A and B are shown apart, each in its own frame.
Chain A
Amino acid sequence: GNSVTQMEGPVTLSEEAFLTINCTYTATGYPSLFWYVQYPGEGLQLLLKATKADDKGSNKGFEATYRKETTSFHLEKGSVQVSDSAVYFCALRETSGSRLTFGEGTQLTVNP
């Protein structure tokens, strides 16, 4: 079956530090890949997505590249801000079907 594995958290960084949150997946076919963010007390929001190999999704300074050869979709940001403190979820959707398979989530805390 499909699965998504994220690096374990929590992750604590200082403001302006470089961020990487690792995500690897197992799936058949050619899934679409997503990063969601959940701020305290809110629902999940789509941060970025990629639908085919070598696609790069980007939003709000965050980037992730769909690497089929390594089955990875790592999230990066060059300079984090305190406002980026949240839980980040990696997810995949099979080519056919509508359900998402989520990773466990990674808590990010950014200190001033």
Chain B
Amino acid sequence: DAGVIQSPRHEVTEMGQEVTLRCKPISGHNSLFWYRQTMMRGLELLIYFNNNVPIDDSGMPEDRFSAKMPNASFSTLKIQPSEPRDSAVYFCASSFPLTGGEQFFGPGTRLTVL
């Protein structure tokens, strides 16, 4: 299995631009998670989906952030408009609770907003 796939791996953009991060979970996994990691705040859960349905988005910082999961094999996290304080590494993870619930993480997208 290819594992969780994220794209792009690196993104540099200017303040005010729209940013879209993409994630392909492991085939067969039915839970998907978006995290943000920074030195100041550590690892934060932004939102997670079960069976393509958003379950808890309480970690989404504000309305500038949105996430979708149109099907079981694809999810996006969008920031519009982006701000310098959004600079972080964004991780996607997937799991299948019935087989132990451990989450498998992608390699992350390093976002820099200038």
| A100 contacts partner chain B, Cβ-Cβ < 8 Å | yes
- Cβ A99 vs Cβ B45 within 8 A: yes
Closest partner residue, chain A, to B91 (CB atom): A43
User: What total of chain A residues lie within 8 Å of the partner, measured CB to CB?
Assistant: 19
What is the predominant secondary structure among interface residues of chain B facing chain A? strand
CB-CB under 8 A for A44 and B97, given A99-B56, A102-B43: no
In which size bucket is the chain B interface? 20 to 34
List residues of chain A with CB within 8 A of the CB of B101. 32, 93, 98, 100
Give Cα A49–Cα B95 distance, bound, in whole angstroms.
14
Asked if A83 is at the interface (CB within 8 A of a chain B CB), the reply is: no
- Residue from the set A43, A45, A100 with the largest chain B CB neighbour count within 10 Å: A43
Task: List, in ascending order, chain B residues with CB within 8 A of A45's CB.
Answer: 105
Contacts A43-B106, A99-B33, A102-B43 known; 5 new A-B pairs at CB < 8 A: A44-B91, A93-B101, A99-B45, A100-B103, A104-B42
A-B pairs with beta carbons under 8 Å apart, 10 shown: A34-B102, A42-B108, A43-B4, A44-B43, A45-B105, A49-B100, A98-B97, A99-B45, A102-B43, A105-B43
Q: CB within 8 Å of A: which residues of B?
A: 4, 31, 33, 42-43, 45, 48, 50, 56, 91, 93, 95, 97, 100-108
Which residues of A are interface residues toward B (Cβ below 8 A)?
32, 34, 36, 42-46, 49, 51, 89, 93, 97-100, 102, 104-105
